[in-house]
Amino acid sequence: MKTLITNGTVVSATGRVVADVLIDGERIQALLAPGSQLLGSELSASVDRVIDAAGKYVIPGGIDAHTHMQMPFGGTEASDTFETGTRAAAWGGTTTIIDFAVQKHGERVMDALAAWHDKAAGVCAVDYAFHQIIGHVTEDSLQALGSLADEGITSYKMFMAYPGVFYSDDAQILRAMQRAADLGLMTMMHAENGPVIDVLAEQLVEAGKTGPYYHGIARAWQAEEEATHRAIMLANLTGAPLYVVHVSAKQAVAQLATARDAGQNVFGETCPQYLYLSLEDQLGAPGFEGAKWVCSTPLRSKHEHHQEHMWRALRTNDVQMVATDHCPFCMSGQKELGVGDFRKIPNGIGSVEHRMDLMYQGVVTGEITLERWVELTSTTPARMFGIYGQKGVIQPGADADVVVYDPNGHTSIGLGKTHHMNMDHSAWEGFEIDGHVDTVISRGRVIVDGDRYLGSAGDGRFVRRGLSQYLV
């Protein structure tokens, strides 16, 4: 199957050029000047499909490097399955996700990984890879780290939060980082001081402050900054590269920037919710409505200017990536578990469908450049997690994961509009985007064409990753 995308502006992390993209089977065969004679009459005649991208951007498919499909949490499970969540991702121009295989307390790492393979196999609409969560540091866990790279998994995540669930203390983190440094694995960290948060949350509930707003008060920015600094110091001590997930506080960004300025291999990820949403406007919504936006790290105060600082950090590369931390829960029967006690609200927001659009709006408003949009949402995730060249770029030999994006289109986000996630609400209800995902191609196959979904469960394949290509 040959496809020719013609007349579009191909955008990379380093520039843009009007060019035609020739796809042969599952891979990109060539980039050509429009109307190039190199295409040749014989080859031209063999093209099965021509997509006219005049006036539109042609970009590498989005890579969401932080999702949680079917993740058990707080007595329930994330509402998106691998099937529904990856289909929603496809609608939004994301052609690869990296999900987290979860090792729970008392469970063997390789058994946990096998369980996640079983969940995802044969049902994903787009390609997928895994990080490994280490929720119980034992000798077996440390030994298992040595087997992950052979399985195509070159990053693992630990938690400084959620005592009694995923929490690891400093000694456990130190031992894991020492092992990871020897192996070249990327250590990913949920950086919040969990024991401190638990005390603050208990005190708030005892004082009758039980609504969703107080989720953000309990998880104070000081707990994020302190844990971020501690994680950086442990990484410095061990020589392990460190990737801090869902950074939301400007003070945590400052810690990352200081370490990077000193030459340390430390990286940060933020999410759309920390660029657009706030403690006051969303978590502070009337009644229990704020539960829709309960996530961790929490939304921060707009009066303290965390949101505008996060945009600046994306421009200065103090934060390198934007993922979603997609972990959706319905209000009915799930978020409602926390009525009367915010500590029981399942933590998570659904965004996998909207990340590319929301970040493009940052181009429209002048927060980031067009090239930076591609870099943040596709190229850097590919480099950071060892799949660049196969993913994250439009070049000969790369997987034909391509999105045709119309800057003159329009996208209205909300239930009944653009919403294919398995949720009974939208965290982005009412957001308007000055752009539109027109065509999505996954490994050479058109899976979204305008308002038609042409893909199917099982189109996606597991992607084996190499070591990070982002280290100095």
Over residues 239-279, the pLDDT tens digits come to: 999 999 999 999 999 999 999 999 999 999 999 999 999 99
Asked, for residue 273, whether it belongs to a domain, the answer is: yes
Asked, for residue 280, whether it belongs to a domain, the answer is: yes
126 and 179 inside one domain = yes
End of a domain among 364, 384, 404?
A: 384
Band of pLDDT at residue 40, cut at 50, 70 and 90: low
Mean per-residue pLDDT for 84-97? 98
Band of pLDDT at residue 105, cut at 50, 70 and 90: confident
d(CA 209, CA 313): 33
Question: In the prediction, which pLDDT does 433 show?
Answer: 98
Asked, for residue 464, whether it belongs to a domain, the answer is: no
Number of domains observed in the structure of the chain: 2
Asked, for residue 101, whether it belongs to a domain, the answer is: yes
Band of pLDDT at residue 472, cut at 50, 70 and 90: confident
DSSP bridge pairs for 50: 4
In this structure, what CATH number is given to the domain that contains residue 336? 3.20.20.140
9 and 68 inside one domain = no
* Mean pLDDT of the residues in the chain: 96
The secondary structure of 332-390 as a DSSP string is: TTTGGGGTT-GGGSPP-B--TTTHHHHHHHHHHTTSS-HHHHHIIIIIHHHHHTT-BTT
Asked, for residue 462, whether it belongs to a domain, the answer is: no
Asked, for residue 463, whether it belongs to a domain, the answer is: no
Question: In the prediction, which pLDDT does 38 show?
Answer: 63
9 and 92 inside one domain = no
31 and 68 inside one domain = no
Band of pLDDT at residue 306, cut at 50, 70 and 90: very high
272 and 260 inside one domain = yes
Asked, for residue 81, whether it belongs to a domain, the answer is: yes
Asked, for residue 431, whether it belongs to a domain, the answer is: yes
Question: In the prediction, which pLDDT does 74 show?
Answer: 82
298 and 177 inside one domain = yes
pLDDT of residue 358 exceeding 80: yes
287 and 188 inside one domain = yes
294 and 377 inside one domain = yes
Least confidently predicted of 46-50, 66-70, 234-238, 406-410 = 46-50
- Work out the number of other CB atoms within 10 angstroms of the CB of residue 244: 28
End of a domain among 384, 413, 439?
A: 384
Tokens of 168: 């690891």
Question: In the prediction, which pLDDT does 44 show?
Answer: 63
Question: In the prediction, which pLDDT does 242 show?
Answer: 98
Least confidently predicted of 32-46, 280-294, 297-311 = 32-46
175 and 237 inside one domain = yes
162 and 254 inside one domain = yes
Range of the domain at 219: 62-384
pLDDT, tens digit (0-9, with 9 covering 90-100), for 400-453: 999 999 999 999 999 888 899 999 999 999 999 999 999 999 999 999 999 999
Question: In the prediction, which pLDDT does 45 show?
Answer: 66
Tokens of 411: 């996208």
Start-to-end C-alpha separation, the chain: 40
Q: Are 311 and 301 in contact (CB under 8 A)?
A: no
End of a domain among 332, 355, 384?
A: 384
d(CA 288, CA 173): 36
Phi-psi region of 93 (alpha: psi -120 to 50; beta: other; left: phi over 0): left
pLDDT of residue 37 exceeding 90: no
327 and 420 inside one domain = no
150 and 296 inside one domain = yes
In this structure, what CATH number is given to the domain that contains residue 431? 2.30.40.10
Question: In the prediction, which pLDDT does 34 show?
Answer: 87
Question: In the prediction, which pLDDT does 130 show?
Answer: 98
